[in-house]
Chain A
Amino acid sequence: AQSVTQPDIHITVSEGASLELRCNYSYGATPYLFWYVQSPGQGLQLLLKYFSGDTLVQGIKGFEAEFKRSQSSFNLRKPSVHWSDAAEYFCAVGHYGGSQGNLIFGKGTKLSVKP
């Protein structure tokens, strides 16, 4: 069955430090992978997505993610974190089969940023 694992429930980093959020997936076919961010009281906003091609994907707000098929991973990175990046981050795999087209989400990683 398709699934997404985000091993870290909560991460705290200092402002200006680098960030890496981990995501591992289980999917039988070519995965379509996404990272969404959810700020308090807000809906989810798409940061970036991977469908095919270059395994390093650039997104909004200075985020990037790297797809590694051999490790079944799609980790999110940012070289320098800003206080406004404090939010919850969700990795998702797109399930497209037959008539379906929906997202399967991980449990999320909450990011706190220290001044």
Chain B
Amino acid sequence: EAGVAQSPRYKIIEKRQSVAFWCNPISGHATLYWYQQILGQGPKLLIQFQNNGVVDDSQLPKDRFSAERLKGVDSTLKIQPAKLEDSAVYLCASSFGRSRTDTQYFGPGTRLTVL
């Protein structure tokens, strides 16, 4: 079974530029998550989708971050404009559902460096 795919793996941009990350979840998984992992910290949830609808985006900085999952499969996370503090690893995860019994499977992440 293929895992969660993410691209690109690494991205370096200058502040005020825009960037987009792509995630393809495990086939059949309805729930998709984007986490931000700043160096030295644990992952923090940014946004959660159930199929193509947003379930929780309470921690997403909506003035600069946006995300979509138009067809309920793959997803894109965008930052525009980027700030220095956005330097982090962006992890995508997916699960069959969003109950406690549904294990979240994580992709390898995209490491973003903002200069």
Question: Residues of A at under 8 Å CB distance from B?
Answer: 4, 32, 36, 41-46, 49, 51, 90, 92, 94, 96, 99-108
CB distance from A27 to the nearest CB of B (A): 12
CB distance from B12 to the nearest CB of A (A): 16
Find out whether the CB atom of A100 lies under 8 angstroms from the CB atom of B91.
no
Bound Cα distance from A51 to B102, whole angstroms = 11
Chain A contacts for B95, CB-based, 8 A:
101
CB distance from A84 to the nearest CB of B (A): 18
From 31 to 65 in chain B, residues with beta carbon under 8 angstroms from any chain A beta carbon are 31, 33, 40-45, 48, 50, 55-56
CB distance from B102 to the nearest CB of A (A): 7
Bound Cα distance from A106 to B31, whole angstroms = 22
Find out whether the CB atom of B103 lies under 8 angstroms from the CB atom of A46.
yes
Is B25 engaged at the interface, CB distance under 8 Å to the other chain?
no
Which of chain B's residues has its CB closest to A94's CB? B100
Bound Cα distance from A5 to B103, whole angstroms = 21
Find out whether the CB atom of A107 lies under 8 angstroms from the CB atom of B99.
no
**Candidates A41, A45, A105; contact of B44 at CB < 8 Å:** A105
CB distance from A48 to the nearest CB of B (A): 11
**Candidates B40, B91, B98, B100; contact of A43 at CB < 8 Å:** B91
Bound Cα distance from A43 to B4, whole angstroms = 9
From 1 to 52 in chain B, residues with beta carbon under 8 angstroms from any chain A beta carbon are 3-4, 31, 33, 40-45, 48, 50
Chain B contacts for A32, CB-based, 8 A:
100
Bound Cα distance from A32 to B102, whole angstroms = 12
Bound Cα distance from A94 to B31, whole angstroms = 15
Bound Cα distance from A44 to B42, whole angstroms = 11
Find out whether the CB atom of B56 lies under 8 angstroms from the CB atom of A100.
yes
Which of chain A's residues has its CB closest to B111's CB? A41
Chain B contacts for A96, CB-based, 8 A:
98-100
CB distance from A74 to the nearest CB of B (A): 14
Bound Cα distance from A100 to B45, whole angstroms = 11
